[in-house]
């Protein structure tokens, strides 16, 4: 294996482990960014809620898919199959982190159904 | 692994041990400051951090004396503001983060059985910069020069108009530069944990403290740049009037809060996670059983580290941000409680699973104290994460109680457990169990007497950060109790200091493995760490292989000698820990020490407006840094035998090398800083979209300017690629590479200069509006990255001119090229933002 491939594999392993939290960070950036931008443009409930829910559904789907097919995610990142010795550990950590991330994403998204888009609470 | 399969055979030749002792000997006398051994500088680091803990604690005692009764005037209002600013700043920046980094420097090489971390001089540089900068910064309290704006330094209170004088500048420049030292330490820790583990220590066998330090360091990489940018913006506004935070010119003081808390909230976990890692190391030893839920704790550490970046707005719930935004961050604040709970349950389960009752030693007591206090702090944390409750409790003493429960419980108690648990690693004598128990009980009782009443004081309406209060509001008794408690804590710390004076004796020869622990730091060790680097097959190697200490000491594992004749350690792959090469490490030296002195002088002299002398120190910093770096890229010594039939190279370059990984981390730091800038630019636009750019502002420069800059950047990149291909064969010199590097550097300088010139031509004034300030700030950041890149390119030219850079020995070139490509990417993105965004929004 070349140096580049070896290093790519090493980095891919860490990115793979934090796949779920990366999806969560993406969701937070999308929902907070889109809400702030749309509110700055003076839009209100409809577009903001739509943007938050669509962003959340997309990122949650991405996270869920990764959790269901972890081997595919690893192969996409590293270009090869995961090291057999480390695979059970890496898969366990990745899946549990994705589960926690999904919970956090769901919780954040629910706000869009309950709260005004741009108004302050007091 | 059976005895006959050990990597090396014994008995080893006598000279090997003597060689190791000579090579790794600590300098003595006046040369002691040049030392770079992790045990020496790590102990020094933790000692200075503890000194700042004591000093900041004394400030707290003065504050508590002032607050003991209502209508008190023991200290003036102005001095009280300096006291609480210095207390918070010192505790957070000069004690907590450095103490944790110090533990990383001191403990990690031992836990990983590495001879040292991969960049020992970088560690030493970070420590000296912190020591010099920290002492000068703290001394401002004695000259009425200390900052007064709180450890959070919110504008507009800290703008020149409301905070004239140099006080605020000491915070902005002093702390900004100490953060650079923290980042240097973080780079060292990340590369160290990933690449200097012993053979066989795969990811699932890493000590939990190593996981915690890896996440800690990664969090520093992403969190600290935000506050570095914030301090740059505020200092530039104070010095030159660029209005980033002045609302009348399109700025917004809330931008500071966003940037500060994007750092400030993760900071809490930056402090807590390593402490949790220490607890995960101590509990199994005291319970005599492996950690229950190792994998869950790894999940919890990573999840906590990640989610902590989504909490920053929960410090801003009462600033008028839309309710939906608050919900996003309230959700993350709740989510972070789950992984924290996972760890607490794992620790309780480990204690319950012990073969015998938990040994009630001093480390155990401090760990149990931590569990009690931190859990209470976590519960009030969930309370303030609930937006309506936070509306009531915000800026009250309830919050003071909450965060002291989290920070002292979550960090200080584990730190004291650490002092007692790991002292035998660097001291010839153990600390006293009797004095330790006195220290614990005084601190534990004192802590709860001090801070528990503050919950009630806060709910009774007492605001935080007040100098005094009317004595007819019913807060006097509670405050008096808190004050008495604070002096009880101080008595506990004093007992600990007495214990240190009586029993701590720095040096080797302490008892081997006094707690009968299972991890590698309790192998027999000396200045060179362990005699040979063990092959690891489990998470608790000493428990699972009782003969390991003897085998390691007899040199039967890897690298029992010094085949290159200098300081070295084994570099392994990041996931499976397979040996890849032997890293040749630098030893003691003056250059990194002088670099720290000149860098500190540069920043501190700027604070007192001695610009000319500061610039001279800045130039000297660059010069001695070059001298330091010049000594690093050592030529290959060929392949060496490390044992186990393995022959590995002594020089690698490109993605396999540790320096390449350090550059990647440095690029992540730079990218984080730039992303913070992009956030700031877009944030100010969302605040004032109707004045972006304000009426009367000149139109953006013609697209020819960014077009020409882009062409130069692409041209420079192509030249770097050509220079790479033209690198001469080993031992030869090539004009083409040198010419390519110089031309690429010139093109980069030209691209940034053209961008600035284009805006100057339009007459855009950076002090007239926040829009103008943000436009020029992009150029400032681009110029900063370009300057670093140009220096690296010219350094590579000098290396080649002296025959020390060729197609084989090429680390210097690879690092310069890597950063060049990054700078080009950042500058191109900046051009698109500055020239494209205003046109896009019309």
Burial of B352 (0-12, 13-18, 19+ CB in 10 A): exposed
Q: Which residues are registered as beta bridge partners of B519?
A: none
- Of residues A10, A32, A122, nearest to B325 (C-beta): A32
Q: Distance (Å, rounded) from C-alpha B802 to C-alpha B571?
A: 28
Please report residues of A whose CB lies closer than 8 A to that of B204: 86, 89
Report pLDDT for B544: 95
Predicted structure pTM score? 0.95
Closest-CA distance, A89 to chain B, in angstroms, reads 6
Report pLDDT for B1: 47
Closest-CA distance, B308 to chain A, in angstroms, reads 11
Contact flag B322-A37 (C-beta cutoff 8 Å) = no
Best B250, B323, B324, B810 residue to mutate vs chain A (most A CBs within 10 Å)? B324
**pLDDT confidence band for B205 (50 / 70 / 90):** very high
B window 465-484, beta carbon within 8 A of A: none
Residue B640, SS3 per DSSP: strand
Closest to A95 (Cα-Cα) out of A18, A3, A6, A42? A18
Contact flag B332-A108 (C-beta cutoff 8 Å) = yes
Cβ atoms within 10 Å, residue B546: 9
Angle (nearest 5°) at CA B444 between B375 and B359: 80
Report pLDDT for B572: 95
Contact flag B326-A86 (C-beta cutoff 8 Å) = no
Within 13 A of B582's CA, how many CA atoms are on the CB side? Answer: 28
Report pLDDT for B609: 87
- Of residues A100, A114, A121, nearest to B338 (C-beta): A100
User: Which residue does chain B place closest to A9, by CA atoms?
Assistant: B575
pLDDT tens digit sequence for B702-742:
999 999 999 999 999 999 999 999 999 887 888 999 999 99
Best A108, A112, A119 residue to mutate vs chain B (most B CBs within 10 Å)? A108
The values of phi and psi at residue B647, to 5°, are: -110, 125
pLDDT tens digit sequence for B676-699:
999 999 999 988 887 788 888 888
Closest-CA distance, B306 to chain A, in angstroms, reads 6
Closest-CA distance, B295 to chain A, in angstroms, reads 7
Q: What residues have CB less than 8 Å from A112, skipping those under 6 apart?
A: A31, A48, A49, A52, A53, A56, B324
Interface contact B206, partner A, CB < 8 A: no
Please report residues of B whose CB lies closer than 8 A to that of A41: 689
Residue A42, SS3 per DSSP: coil
Domain boundaries, chain A: 3-113
Best B258, B329, B574, B575 residue to mutate vs chain A (most A CBs within 10 Å)? B575
Interface contact B578, partner A, CB < 8 A: no
Q: Distance (Å, rounded) from C-alpha B763 to C-alpha A9?
A: 50
Closest-CA distance, A37 to chain B, in angstroms, reads 6
Closest-CA distance, A64 to chain B, in angstroms, reads 17
Residue B60 has pLDDT above 60, yes or no: yes
User: Which residue does chain A place closest to B301, by CA atoms?
Assistant: A97
B window 161-190, beta carbon within 8 A of A: none
- Of residues A14, A85, A107, nearest to B202 (C-beta): A85
Radius of gyration of chain B (CA): 27
Report pLDDT for A2: 57
Q: What residues have CB less than 8 Å from B192, skipping those under 6 apart?
A: B108, B109, B112, B114, B117, B118
Closest-CA distance, B203 to chain A, in angstroms, reads 7
CB B793 within 8 A of CB B741: yes
B window 252-311, beta carbon within 8 A of A: 295-296, 298-299, 302-303, 306-307, 309-310
Q: Distance (Å, rounded) from C-alpha B241 to C-alpha B232?
A: 12
* Size of chain A in residues: 122
- Of residues B320, B328, B339, nearest to A108 (C-beta): B328
Contacts 24+ apart (CB under 8 A), A66-72: A66/A19, A66/A20, A66/A23, A66/A94, A66/A98, A67/A20, A67/A94, A67/A95, A67/A98, A67/A99, A67/A102, A70/A16, A70/A94, A70/A95
Q: H or E element: which one contains B821?
A: helix B811-831
Residue B647, SS3 per DSSP: strand
Q: Which residues are registered as beta bridge partners of B463?
A: B396
CB B182 within 8 A of CB B267: no
- The residue-averaged pLDDT of B152-174 equals 93
User: Which residue does chain B place closest to A98, by CA atoms?
Assistant: B303
Residue B130 has pLDDT above 50, yes or no: yes
Contact flag A100-B686 (C-beta cutoff 8 Å) = no
Interface contact B655, partner A, CB < 8 A: yes
pLDDT tens digit sequence for B471-512:
989 999 999 999 999 999 999 999 999 999 999 998 877 788
B window 373-402, beta carbon within 8 A of A: 387, 391
Q: Distance (Å, rounded) from C-alpha B322 to C-alpha B334?
A: 19
Closest-CA distance, B596 to chain A, in angstroms, reads 32
C-alpha dihedral sign at B238, B239, B244, B246: positive
Closest-CA distance, A71 to chain B, in angstroms, reads 16
Q: Which residues are registered as beta bridge partners of B583?
A: B569
**pLDDT confidence band for B642 (50 / 70 / 90):** very high
Taking 50 as the pLDDT cut, the residues of chain A under it are 1
pLDDT tens digit sequence for B347-401:
999 999 987 889 999 999 999 999 999 999 999 999 998 999 999 999 999 999 9
CB B799 within 8 A of CB B812: yes
* Chain centre distance of CA B170: 20
Contact flag A25-B321 (C-beta cutoff 8 Å) = no
Please report residues of B whose CB lies closer than 8 A to that of A89: 203-204, 295
Q: How far is CA B312 from CA A108, B191, B266, B269, B385, in A?
A: 14, 28, 8, 12, 11
Could you report the predicted ipTM of this complex, rounded to two decimals? 0.95
**pLDDT confidence band for B469 (50 / 70 / 90):** very high
Closest-CA distance, A95 to chain B, in angstroms, reads 10
Instruction: Find where tokens 């500048």 sit.
Output: B169
Report pLDDT for A3: 61
Closest to B285 (Cα-Cα) out of B526, B510, B101, B111? B111
Which domains does chain B show, CATH number per domain?
A: 40-503 (1.20.210.10), 678-840 (1.20.120.80)
Q: Distance (Å, rounded) from C-alpha B11 to C-alpha B21?
A: 18
Report residue B819 as tokens.
Answer: 């950063």
CB B841 within 8 A of CB B689: yes
Residue B597 has pLDDT above 90, yes or no: yes
The values of phi and psi at residue B581, to 5°, are: -165, 170
Report pLDDT for B801: 93
CB B608 within 8 A of CB B616: no
Cβ atoms within 10 Å, residue A68: 11
Interface contact B646, partner A, CB < 8 A: no
Interface contact B322, partner A, CB < 8 A: yes
Please report residues of B whose CB lies closer than 8 A to that of A11: 574
Report pLDDT for B177: 78
Contact flag A103-B335 (C-beta cutoff 8 Å) = yes
Q: How far is CA B491 from CA B86, B447, B787, in A?
A: 22, 11, 51
């Amino acid at each position: 294996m070349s140096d580049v491939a070896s290093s790519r594999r090493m980095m891919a392993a860490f990115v793979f482990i934090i796949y779920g939290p990366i999806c969560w960070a993406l969701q937070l950036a999308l929902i907070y960014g889109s809400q702030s931008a749309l509110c700055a443009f003076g839009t209100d409930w409809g577009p903001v809620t739509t943007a938050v829910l669509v962003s959340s559904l997309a990122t949650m789907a991405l996270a869920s898919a990764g959790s269901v097919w972890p081997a595919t995610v690893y192969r996409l990142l590293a270009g090869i199959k995961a090291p057999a010795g480390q695979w059970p550990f890496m898969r366990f950590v990745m899946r549990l982190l994705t589960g926690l991330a999904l919970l956090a994403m769901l919780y954040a998204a629910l706000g869009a159904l309950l709260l005004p888009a741009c108004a302050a609470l007091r | 692994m059976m005895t006959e399969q050990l990597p090396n055979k014994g008995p080893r030749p006598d000279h090997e041990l003597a060689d190791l002792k000579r090579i790794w000997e600590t300098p003595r006398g006046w040369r002691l400051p040049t030392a770079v051994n992790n045990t020496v500088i790590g102990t020094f680091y933790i000692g200075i951090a503890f000194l700042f803990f004591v000093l900041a604690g004394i400030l707290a005692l003065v504050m508590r004396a002032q607050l003991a009764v209502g209508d008190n005037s023991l200290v003036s209002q102005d001095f009280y503001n300096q006291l609480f600013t210095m207390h918070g700043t010192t505790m957070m920046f000069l004690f907590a983060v450095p103490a944790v980094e110090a533990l990383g420097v001191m403990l990690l090489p031992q836990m990983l059985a590495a001879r040292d971390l991969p960049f020992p001089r970088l560690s030493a540089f970070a420590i000296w910069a912190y020591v010099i900068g920290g002492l000068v910064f703290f001394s401002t309290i004695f000259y009425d020069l200390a900052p007064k704006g709180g450890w959070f330094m919110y504008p507009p209170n800290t703008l020149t108009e409301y905070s004239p004088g140099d006080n605020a500048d000491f915070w902005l420049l002093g702390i900004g530069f100490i953060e650079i030292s923290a980042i240097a330490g973080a780079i060292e820790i990340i590369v160290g944990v990933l690449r200097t583990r012993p053979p066989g220590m795969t990811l699932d066998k890493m000590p939990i403290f190593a996981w915690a330090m890896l996440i800690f360091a990664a969090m520093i990489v992403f969190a600290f740049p935000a506050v570095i940018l914030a301090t740059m913006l505020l200092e530039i506004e104070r010095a030159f009037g660029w209005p980033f935070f002045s609302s009348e010119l399109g700025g917004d003081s809330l931008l500071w809060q966003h940037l500060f808390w994007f750092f400030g909230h993760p900071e809490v976990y930056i402090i807590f996670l390593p402490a949790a890692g220490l607890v995960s190391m101590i509990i199994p030893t005291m319970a005599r059983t492996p950690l229950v839920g190792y994998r869950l704790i790894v999940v919890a550490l990573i999840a906590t580290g990640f989610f902590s970046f989504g909490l920053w707005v929960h410090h801003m719930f009462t600033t008028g941000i839309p309710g939906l935004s608050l919900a996003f961050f309230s959700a993350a604040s709740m989510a972070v409680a789950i992984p924290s709970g996972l760890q607490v349950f794992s620790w309780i389960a480990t204690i319950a699973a012990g073969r015998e009752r938990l040994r009630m030693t001093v480390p155990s007591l401090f760990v149990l104290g931590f569990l009690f206090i931190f859990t209470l702090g976590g519960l009030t944390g969930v309370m303030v994460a609930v937006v309506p409750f936070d509306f009531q409790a915000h800026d009250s003493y309830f919050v003071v109680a909450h965060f002291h429960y989290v920070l002292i419980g979550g960090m200080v108690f584990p730190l004291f457990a650490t002092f007692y648990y790991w002292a035998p690693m660097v001291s010839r004598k153990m600390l006293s169990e009797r004095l330790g128990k006195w220290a614990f009980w005084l601190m534990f009782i004192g802590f709860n007497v001090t801070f528990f009443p503050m919950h009630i004081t806060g709910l009774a309406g007492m605001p935080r950060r007040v100098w005094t209060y009317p004595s007819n509001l019913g807060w006097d008794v509670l405050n008096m109790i808190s004050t008495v408690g604070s002096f009880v804590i101080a008595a506990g710390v004093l007992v600990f200091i007495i214990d240190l004076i009586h029993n701590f004796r720095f040096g080797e020869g302490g008892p081997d493995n006094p707690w009968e622990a299972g991890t590698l730091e309790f192998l027999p060790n000396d200045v060179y760490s362990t005699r040979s680097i063990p092959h690891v097959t489990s998470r608790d190697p000493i428990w699972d292989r009782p003969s390991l200490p003897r085998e390691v000491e007899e040199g039967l594992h890897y690298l029992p000698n010094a085949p290159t004749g200098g300081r070295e350690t084994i570099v392994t792959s990041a996931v499976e820990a397979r040996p890849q090469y032997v890293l040749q490490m630098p030893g003691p030296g003056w250059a990194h020490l002088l670099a720290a002195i000149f860098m500190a002088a540069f920043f501190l002299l700027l604070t007192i407006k001695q610009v000319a002398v500061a610039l001279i120190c800045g130039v000297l910093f660059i010069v001695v840094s070059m001298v330091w770096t010049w000594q690093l890229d050592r030529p290959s010594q060929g392949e060496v035998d490390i044992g186990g039939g393995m022959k590995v190279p002594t020089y690698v370059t490109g993605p396999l090398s540790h320096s390449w990984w350090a550059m990647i981390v440095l690029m992540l730091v730079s990218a984080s800083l730039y992303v913070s800038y992009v956030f700031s630019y877009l944030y100010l636009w969302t605040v004032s979209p109707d004045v972006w750019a304000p009426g009367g502002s000149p139109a953006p420069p013609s697209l020819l300017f960014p077009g020409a800059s882009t062409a130069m950047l692409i041209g420079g990149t192509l030249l770097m690629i050509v220079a790479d291909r033209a690198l001469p064969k080993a031992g030869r010199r090539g004009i083409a590479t040198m010419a390519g590097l110089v031309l690429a550097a010139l093109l980069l300088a030209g691209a940034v200069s053209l961008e600035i010139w284009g805006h100057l031509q339009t007459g855009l004034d950076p002090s007239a509006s926040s829009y103008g300030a943000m436009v020029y700030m992009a150029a400032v950041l681009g110029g900063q990255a370009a300057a670093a890149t140009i220096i690296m390119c010219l350094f590579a030219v000098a290396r080649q001119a002296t025959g020390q850079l060729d197609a084989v020995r090429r680390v210097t070139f690879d690092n310069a090229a890597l950063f060049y490509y990054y700078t080009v990417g950042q500058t191109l993105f900046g051009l698109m933002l500055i020239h494209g965004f205003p046109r896009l929004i019309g």
